[in-house]
Structure 1
Amino acid sequence: MRRQMIAGNWKMNTNLESGKALAEGLAKHVSGKDLNADVLVCPPFPYLQAVKAAVGNSGISVGAQNCYFEEPGAFTGEVAVDMLLDIGCDWVILGHSERRHVLGETDEVINKKTKAALAKGLGVVLCVGELLEDREAGKTNAVLDEQMKGGLADVAAGDLSKIVIAYEPVWAIGTGKTATPEMADEAHAHIRGWLTSNYDQSAADAMRILYGGSVKPNNAAELLGQPNVDGALVGGASLTVDNFGPIIDAGLAQSGK
C-alpha cells in the first residue's frame, strides 16, 4: 500500500502576498484532516521561506522547483541543495518537461542534480514524459525507458525510497488535454515494469508514481483511483485553494489503496 502524494508546482507564478495567502489557505484547508497522504507545495525560489512559514505545522511540505548539482560556490544564478535544506525544503522537482524542452536540460544534467539531492537527503520528484509526436509515433515507452535510465543512472536501490516519479505527458501539460485514466495507468505500469527489470519487484511495488497533466477537481478522483497512480503533480490547478483543495481531498480518499 503506497501513500499518495499531492504536489503543487506553482511554476513562475504568485508574488509574496499571493503566495503567502495561498499557503495559508491550503493550511486552513487541511486543518483537522487526517493527512494520510503527503501534501507538497513548490513555490518559486524567492517565496520558499515565506511559504514555509505560512504552512507552519499544518503537515504540508515545501519543495523547490529546481536545484544545481555543485557544492556552493561560484555558480551565478544557481541554488545549491544545501541552501534548500537550510530553509527547510523537503523535496525538489527535477526533470520537469519545461526544464527539458524549454531550458534544454539533458538526462545527464538531471541525473547529476538527482544524485546531488539524494546525497544530502533531499527528496526528489523526478519527472518523465513524452512529447505528442512521441506518442503519435508509438514511442512513449521508449522515451520513458530512456528518461528513467538517464535520470536514475548510478542511483542505488537504497536511495529509491527518497524518490517519487512523476509521469507527465508533455502534450497534456497546460493544454487542457488529459491522458485518460487508462492511458495514465498504462504508462505508470510501464514505469513500474522498468523498475522491476532494473532494480527489483519490491522497489517497483514501493515506488510512488504521480500523474501530472491538466489534473483538475473534476478528473482527480478517477485518475487517482487507478491502481498504478499514486498521486498527482498539479500545475495550474494548484494556484487556488478552490481547485487544489478538492484534489488534495481526492488524494486523501485514495491513499493506501
Structure 2
Amino acid sequence: MEPKIALQLWSVQAEAKADLCGLLPKVKAWGYEGVEFAGYHGQDPEALRAALLACDLAVAASHIPFSQLRDHLAEVLAYERIIGNRRIVCPYFEFSADNWPTEIAQLQKLKQAVQAQGFEFYYHNHAHELTAVPGVDVLQELARAGVQLEADLYWLEYAGVPAINWLSEQEERVGLLHLKDMAKESRQSTLIGAGKLPLPDYVAFAQQQEIPWLIVEQEAFSEVSPVVAAEQNVKNLQKMFPKKVPY
C-alpha cells in the first residue's frame, strides 16, 4: 500500500483561519490527497464536509488539544463524524519528571474512551518527550502503554535521536508520520528536500510498514511564503517515492 500525502493545515494557518473551505480546493490542486486539521475556525461541520467532498480531499486526521478531548469528548467526536474523520491526534502533552507515569495513564484512559466510540487515537510528539524526563523515553513508554504514535521525525532528530533507528524500534506503534525537513545550519524546519534529513528513508519506512498517511508540515519560512512552501513540499516529496519499474 502506497502512503498518501496530506497537508497539516497549521502550515498555512493564516489562510485556513481566513477561509478554511476556500483553502481546500487549492490544497487539492497543489497535489495533496488529504488534510490534517489543526482547528476549524468556527466552521460548520456540514459545510466543511461538503467542501471536502467537492474537491475530493480526505481527512487524514485532526489535531485536537488534550483539554478539549478530556472535557468535551462527545462534542468533539460528533463533529469529527460529520466531517468524515476517524483519526484523533493529541498534539501535545506536558510531561513532568516527577509525575510522567500518571500523565501517561491519562493519555491511555483517553485513548480507551476515543476507541470505544469507533475512532483511532494517536499522540503526536515534539522534542520534549525525549528530554523532559532524564533517562526515560516517554514516547517509548507511551508505546508500551498501547498508545499509537503519530511520529514527527523532525522533532525526533531535533532531540538528537536518529529517527530511522527509533522507528525500527517502535514500528509496531507508529501509525502516522509527520514529515518536515531540517535546515542544515539553523535546525529550523525548511522546504522538503532543502535540508539535511534522510526523507527518502522515511518514505521507504512508510511503504514497508504500510503507513496510510505522510503528513507534511512546515513551521518556519525563511525562503518562501507558507503557501508557496506547501505547494513545493508535496512535489518535492513525491519525487522521493521510488520509481516503479514497468514490466
Compute the TM-score of the two structures, normalised by the length of structure 2: 0.61
Checking the alignment, whether the CA contact within 8 Å between 2:7 and 2:35 is kept in structure 1 is yes
Specify the alignment match of 1:47 in structure 2: 43
Checking the alignment, whether the CA contact within 8 Å between 1:164 and 1:207 is kept in structure 2 is yes
Checking the alignment, whether the CA contact within 8 Å between 2:34 and 2:57 is kept in structure 1 is yes
Q: CA deviation at 1:237?
A: 6.4
Report the 3-state secondary structure (helix = DSSP H, G, I; strand = E; otherwise coil) of the residue aligned with 2:29: helix
Q: Distance in 2 between matches of 1:58 and 1:17?
A: 19
Give per-residue Cα distances to partners, 1:121-156, cap 9 Å, x unaligned.
434442124339939x9x6xx55x32232256245x
Q: CA deviation at 1:43?
A: 3.7
1:209 maps to 2:173:
no
Specify the alignment match of 1:100 in structure 2: 94
Q: CA deviation at 1:78?
A: 7.4
The number of residues matched between the two structures is 214
Compared CA separation, residues 109 and 246, structure 1 to 2 (3 A):
farther
Compared CA separation, residues 133 and 109, structure 1 to 2 (3 A):
closer
Give per-residue Cα distances to partners, 1:210-241, cap 9 Å, x unaligned.
34575432546864634135444515369943
Specify the alignment match of 1:244 in structure 2: 230
Q: Distance in 2 between matches of 1:4 and 1:219?
A: 18
Compared CA separation, residues 12 and 251, structure 1 to 2 (3 A):
closer
Q: Distance in 1 between matches of 2:150 and 2:122?
A: 5
Compute the TM-score of the two structures, normalised by the length of structure 1: 0.59
Percent of counterpart pairs with the same letter? 11
Checking the alignment, whether the CA contact within 8 Å between 2:24 and 2:55 is kept in structure 1 is no
Specify the alignment match of 1:64 in structure 2: 62
Specify the alignment match of 1:149 in structure 2: 141
Give per-residue Cα distances to partners, 1:8-67, cap 9 Å, x unaligned.
14289446543233223112222xxxx6xx532314133373544333354433332216
Report the 3-state secondary structure (helix = DSSP H, G, I; strand = E; otherwise coil) of the residue aligned with 2:123: strand
- Note the residue ranges of structure 1 that are not aligned, 5 or more in a row: 171-177, 196-202
Specify the alignment match of 1:8 in structure 2: 8
Give per-residue Cα distances to partners, 1:60-86, cap 9 Å, x unaligned.
33332216667xxxx469743243123
Compared CA separation, residues 48 and 237, structure 1 to 2 (3 A):
farther
